[in-house]
Amino acid sequence: MEFTMPCFLVSLFCFFGAFLVFFFSQCLFRLIKSTTRKLPLPPGTLGLPYFGETFQLYSQNPSVFFASKQKRYGTIFKTHILGCPCVMISSPEAAKFVLVTKANLFKPTFPASKERMLGRQAIFFHQGDYHNKLRKLVLRAFMPEAIKNIVSNVETLAVDSLHSWDGQLINTFQEMKTYAFNVALLSIFGKDETLYREELKRCYYVLEKGYNSMPINLPGTLFNKSMKARKELAQILVKILSTRRQNKEVHTDLLGSFMSEDESLTDEQIADNIIGVIFAARDTTASLLTWIVKYLGENPTFLEAVTQEQEAVMKCKENNGGEEKTLTWADTKKMPITSRVIQETLRVASILSFTFREAVEDVEYQGYLIPKGWKVLPLFRNIHHSPEIFPEPDKFDPRRFEVAPKPNTFMPFGSGSHSCPGNELAKLEILVILHHLTTKYRWSMVGPQTGIQYGPFALPQNGLPIRLYAKK
């Protein structure tokens, strides 16, 4: 005889079965969540309330701060800087984990003060489709195919800068900042950059003073002054956008790329990203050039090697009839020794000591919990100065780059999808000015040569004062 279960019992059984599945799944979820919560935070200290260890980091040699932490706690530790709880990591494997392998778990970010000053629509703070679109637009203006067309314009800026320094006692860093700022404006606004240079410079120079200030928006504070300058800077950029739309000219510079009709960026998005590009292109390049001048001045053998290489480029042009006296993109590809000097300076000086990421969810790494919302800082400086990776790490020796470094051990421009898209432009402007500096000028450093100042980039003391003279 066939047995038939009553309908209500079938329904009850199904309900009960579904309940058990739900119950046990919730228990499993809570167990996993509970286990995650019980993971310890990385070792370390958070310092003072709110201020954390900001002053300890930015008032001394960052190598000392990072090295002391790593020696005490290992390659992963917690701290608190610029109002943010942070986890710092200092191994190539950890940097790859955060920047490449699990990049989806760590969004790019900056401290609150920088986010508000640069603008929340800037490329630095985004992932996904919006970031990909912005990166495509920036690369379109900064890839070799685009910037090879402005080599002669960059050269004019370099020649004019060096000529204005001839016979003068100059602050190398400040003068290189002006040069890098002008190159940045050239890449952004093309031939129109001279129309806006002084107005943009006036506002930006006020804005930059507050980049590493605490985000306290009270009258008289650096942050408050910077935010006012940022508002004015945005208004100038909106005015430039309006003028371009009225003229209806086709432009191949970065602003033209941002204004492409098929990209549909708002004025606010364009302004935020223009300010962001200036920020990324200026101080870092100027700091690098300052260190190059110092290291070449202290190492006559490498200075002579660079000078001979640059003179060979110049003579090659003369031997070809001298028809094309200005540098070309092809010329910059004949400078391997100079390129290795740039690489070694990037390593030793480590202009960018670290980069900022933020955990978008709780993340486990090496048995530690990185809580959602905490900043994560891969420490490039520690990696670049590891004696296991680079023997005698404090010694300036460009010859070490005759062999390519191992993956994830040399990251001066970051790594992964958020690596710096303007590195080709930076290298171009450095090669161009070094060509003329070494072939046409000599210099001597003035004052103490051992001191280093921080704020926030590491720089030679007093911005490296030098006297520059034209060669006879």
- What residues form the annotated binding site for heme? 420
Which position has the token pair 């370390």? 44
SS3 244: helix
Contacts of 423 (CB under 8 A, 6+ apart): 413
Task: In whole angstroms, give the CA distance from residue 279 to residue 273.
Answer: 10
Measured from the Cβ of residue 160, the count of other Cβ atoms closer than 10 Å reads 11
Give the H/E segment covering residue 348: helix 336-349
Q: How far apart are CA 141 and CA 447, in angstroms?
A: 41
User: Do residues 253 and 188 lie in contact, with contact meaning Cβ atoms separated by under 8 Å?
Assistant: yes
DSSP-derived secondary structure for 122-185: SGGG--HHHHHHHHHHHHHHHSHHHHGGGHHHHHHHHHHHHHHHTT-EEEHHHHHHHHHHHHHH
Binding-site residue set: 420
Q: Which amino acid is at 100?
A: V
Q: Are 457 and 351 in contact (CB under 8 A)?
A: yes
Q: Which residues pair with 86 in a beta bridge?
A: 79, 375
55: tokens are: 């002053």
Which of 314, 396, 303, 401 has its CA nearest to residue 350? 396
Residue 469's H or E segment, with its range, is strand 465-470
Q: Which residues of 176-199 are buried (b: 16+ CB within 10 A; e: fewer)?
A: bbbbbbbbbbbbbbbebbeebeee
> Which residue in 420, 273, 276 sits closest to 346, CA to CA?
420
Q: Which string of DSSP letters, residue by residue, matches 351-405?
A: SS-B--EEESS-EEETTEEE-TT-EEEEBHHHHHT-TTTSSSTTS--GGGGGSPP
Q: Let me know if 72 is exposed, middle or buried by CB neighbors in 10 A (0-12, 13-18, 19+).
A: exposed
Locate 383 and state its tokens: 């990696």
